[in-house]
Amino acid sequence: RKKADQQKSDFVSVVSHELRTPLTSIRGSLGLLMSPVAGDLPESARELLAIAVRNSDRLIRLINDILDLQKIESGEIAVNEEAIDVGSFLEHAVEDNQGIADTFGVTLVLTNDAPGEKVCADRDRLMQVITNLISNALKFSPREGAVELLLKDAGDDLRFAVRDQGPGIPEEFQSKIFDRFSQADSSATRKQGGTGLGLSIAQSIMELHGGSLQFTTQEGQGTTFTFTLPKASEFETSSSQVRRTKNRHGLPVLVCEDDEGMAGVA
């Protein structure tokens, strides 16, 4: 059984990598066709290209999600923790997601009630979680609605929250919200480009950080996803040369190096 699982995992990884390369090339070519480089195109042609771009992006997201799942299942994924200025980090998250917010006609609002605070986390993986939560919230919020990204001081911790004004999560689906490929309304979610993997991956990333995603919801009133992370200690905050790596088995490795360049390599 173990050998079969490994073969399946290897197969998924190889196929996903092989698919991603030509898809990336296709997406780049489509982008050039839609740019001024290609000159003026008939409106009907631009509409067809836009459909091709959306579906290419959807396939690329699906492949990236599958690769992340494969890493999680095999224990290859790890978090590389560093002290992060949360205020600046969240401002970048809003900037990065402003384009999709404009597409959906939804206002993206940041409320930071803990200015100047830092957490010790994997910057890229934490951004992956935040982006997934914001993206989901935007997809299910009504046009001219708002999605709020909130940071609250919770004593020794910082509480992150993403709140939408969507339809809420049906009661019968709430116990399955973090299951892989689960979607409360598959047709609606897939129409918006969802894969049903994002929340499962986000939950796994938070578990690697020693936490978990939680949510509160009310049908017709929206949903709020939250998670907490401990504030960075004074030592972690003052030393940019300290990095911690943890794998899925929860075994931490503390790297101390007096040369900042070598700390990055380590």
Q: So what's the pLDDT on residue 61?
A: 77
Check if CATH label 3.40.50.10860 holds for domain 79-230.
Answer: no
User: 128 to each of 15, 46, 252, 254, how far by Cα in Å?
Assistant: 23, 31, 21, 23
DSSP 234-262: HHHHH-TTEEEEEETT--EEEEE-SSHHH
In this structure, are residues 201 and 72 in contact, taking their beta carbons and an 8 Å threshold?
Answer: yes
**Shared fold status for 2-74 and 79-230:** no
Q: So what's the pLDDT on residue 116?
A: 93
Q: Where are the domains of the chain?
A: 2-74, 79-230
Q: Under CATH, what is the fold of the domain 2-74?
A: Helix Hairpins (1.10.287)
Alpha carbons 1 and 242: distance in angstroms, whole number? 40
Q: In what order do the strands lie in the sheet with 252-256?
A: 118-121, 78-85, 242-247, 252-256
Q: pLDDT tens digits, residue range 66-93? A: 887 777 777 777 788 999 999 999 999 9
Q: pLDDT tens digits, residue range 164-211? A: 999 999 988 888 888 876 665 544 444 455 556 789 889 989 998 988
Alpha carbons 21 and 186: distance in angstroms, whole number? 28
Alpha carbons 138 and 126: distance in angstroms, whole number? 18
Would you call 158 helix, strand, or coil by DSSP? strand
- Measured on CA atoms in the order 130, 135, 137, 141, is the torsion positive or negative? positive
Alpha carbons 203 and 136: distance in angstroms, whole number? 14
pTM of the model: 0.72
The stretches in the chain having pLDDT less than 70 are: 1-13, 181-196, 234-266
